[in-house]
Chain A
Amino acid sequence: MKTRYSFGGDDHIFAEVDEEMSLEAFFRSLSVTKVVKESQIDGIVEVCPANASYQIKYNPDQIKPNDLLAELKSIESAMKNAESILQTRVVEVPVYYNDPWTHETLMRFRERHQDPDSTDLEYAARINGFDSIESFIEAHSGSPWFVTMVGFVAGLPFMFQMVDRERQIEVPKYLRPRTDTPKQTVGYGGCFACIYSVRGAGGYQMFGITPMPIFDPKQEISHLREFMVFFNPGDIVKFKPIDRAAYDEELEAVETGRFEPVIRELNFSLDEFQSGIDEYNKNIGEMLHGN
């Protein structure tokens, strides 16, 4: 990994930590941007971490592009051996896989799909070597995910699964993007899961839907009153498969203002995680329900 810097016009610096996706690249991006924020360099307007890169927007009237670049390089080199520890939270997200709404939508856009004769779940399971959609859902919901980027549109989390590369699920995006995706669809493209925060266009494969709202510009929903966007880069997500009855129940809880997501605090260590991935993930799973 060697960070490549580039000017994005006269008011952005773009830094690609690595060309390929990995938890290490994400951690580097997250830790550098955290220090950049804390350093309170004059002229910085926005600090945006992404999956394996990050971007700084600045006011060139306040700091010269080359001066900011030098600052970023020195921050990065001072962090070469920084411990990869992250104070974060684990969030359980209920998912109704294979639900009727994403199914209706994917059927409407079948001609834009690589495999018009199967569903998105069937297609993803097959090309990733699973013998059934049940075993695919088990893999998808069995190990947790890092929110490695929030964006595209307001509040949409990109998530990268916390497993070794051999077990990463990979699927292409639709051949041509859909013009419609139900709100709160759990999607997949490349090596990333996502949750669509609003209804709209989209190119990711659709696996299911969550009853849990993640963006509320009116700030009326119980868990979004303090801030309209739920996710932050660095959050850990564990999907919990639910059936139609549980989905309807959760939805009613949302509508009547009683919904509260299951959240636990976690001091995440990348080294500890890497020395025993399955054990670490098992503990994360138990944290959520081991009160």
Chain B
Amino acid sequence: MGIKIISPGLATSVQDLGRPGYYHLGIPISGGMDRFALRAANHLVGNPEGSAVLEAVFLGPEIEFTTDAMVAVTGAELPLKVDGEPKEIWTSFSVKSGQTLSFEFLKAGARSYIAVSGGIDVPVVLGSRSTYGLGALGGHEGRNLQSGDKLEIGDSSITVDEGRQVPANLRRGLGSSAELRVVPGLYWHRITEDSQKYFFDDTWKVASEADRIGYRFQHGRALRFNERKQPFGAGSDPSNIVDSCYPYGSIQVPGGTEPIVLHRDAVSGGGYFMIGTVISADMDLIGQLQPNMDVKFIEVDIDTALAARMNRQSNMQRIREVV
């Protein structure tokens, strides 16, 4: 008993809070790109916060329920309906066996999290139900969902009422532009002082290559490098380094032209230099960015990053208390 995928949307996958511990073997953490929305969705239907949900991007799926369940959809502003009747986002609602959940066109944001009471019950692989597509690992058969897929729902011990809601002031606002805070570092010293300044001065646009591996940005000025003789093993381009690990959120700039911020399905390492790292508090926000949106990178130090992290956590704590 569970759900059946009538149409999968653009790229809908099973995700939870991820699979830490295997990055040194090239297996990334995966999991929801907007973890705040994922936790909140689970909370609304009475699941443990790390239960597996569906992550849909840009275009919602159409899902037929073969069991009764409590459901909540959070994240992007993606209007939804049950058998044609509109339902609110960030709010729990009940679905009866035989009913169909569908979505209208995206209004703002990028990713929706669809939590079902009991959680999506796919096999646990290396400690997580998250899908890692590049490695054909986890989730439903290691891939995004397709029409006709049937997914099991876990047993739900807690029953919650319909209409449980995250108040609007606790949701993340989704505008037409965004600011991402960055701690400069890693190979920051490789670019000139002018380039260091321009990187934060310029307005960047989200490119069409924006997925679970990383987000690419365009239209800022190209970075210029401090001259050096390339170290042995680094490769000849000034943007090359001896292949190293890539932190989640790190910003690599191949050839000095288009920054790429790595996300939850990150490639774990490679030979491109990095100029810094997006702070942990702003990683969720990247998951809600659409191509063509304006983005500014804001320079912060590590103490500011830690304070921002605390702030996000207290927001989640308030949801636990209020909802």
Contacts and interface: CB of A to CB of B under 8 A. Distances in A.
Given A55-B244, A192-B233, A149 B142 contact: no
B167 interface: no
Given A20-B242, A60-B309, A172 B236 contact: yes
Contacts of B280: 9-11, 60
A14 interface: yes
Contacts of A172: 235-236
B24 A217 contact: no
A198 B26 CA distance: 12
Interface residues of A, number: 57
A53 interface: yes
A8 B242 contact: no
Interface in B1-49: 20-27
A6 interface: yes
Interface stretch (A41-49, A93-101, A242-250, A262-270): A41-49
Interface stretch (B50-58, B268-276, B290-298): B268-276
Interface residues of B, number: 51
25 contacts: A6-B186, A8-B277, A9-B183, A10-B183, A12-B277, A45-B21, A46-B20, A51-B242, A52-B244, A55-B245, A55-B247, A57-B20, A60-B306, A65-B306, A149-B269, A152-B268, A153-B267, A153-B268, A155-B26, A158-B243, A165-B232, A189-B235, A189-B271, A197-B26, A198-B134
Contact of A8 (B21, B137, B185, B233): B185
Interface of B: 20-27, 125, 132, 134-137, 142, 183, 185-186, 188, 231-236, 240-245, 247-250, 267-271, 276-281, 302, 305-306, 309, 313
Contacts of A61: 309, 313
Contacts of A228: 137
B269 A50 contact: yes
Given A21-B231, A190-B242, A156 B249 contact: no
Nearest to A53: B244
Given A9-B305, A52-B233, A189-B235, A150 B242 contact: no
Contacts of A189: 235, 271
A200 interface: yes
Give the dominant DSSP class at B's interface: mixed
Contacts of A198: 134-136
Contacts of A163: none
Given A6-B185, A9-B305, A151-B269, A20 B232 contact: yes
Q: Interface centre among B22, B243, B278, B305, by most A CB within 10 Å?
A: B243
A120 interface: no
Given A9-B248, A160-B233, 5 more contacts: A57-B248, A65-B306, A172-B235, A191-B232, A217-B135
Contact of A14 (B27, B142, B186): B186
The listed residue with most B CB atoms (<10 A of its CB), out of A10, A154, A228, is A10
Given A8-B250, A217-B137, A14 B244 contact: yes
- Pairs A-B, 3 closest by C-beta atoms: A21-B233, A8-B247, A9-B277
A206 B276 CA distance: 32
B132 to A, nearest CB: 7
A152 B244 contact: no
Interface in A117-160: 149-156, 158, 160
A158 B24 CA distance: 12
A119 to B, nearest CB: 21
A178 B313 CA distance: 42
B244 A16 contact: yes
Contacts of A154: 25-27, 132, 134-135, 137
A259 B203 CA distance: 55
Contacts of A165: 232
B24 A19 contact: no
A151 B135 contact: no
A54 B244 CA distance: 7
A138 to B, nearest CB: 22
A9 B279 contact: yes
Contact of B231 (A10, A20, A217): A20
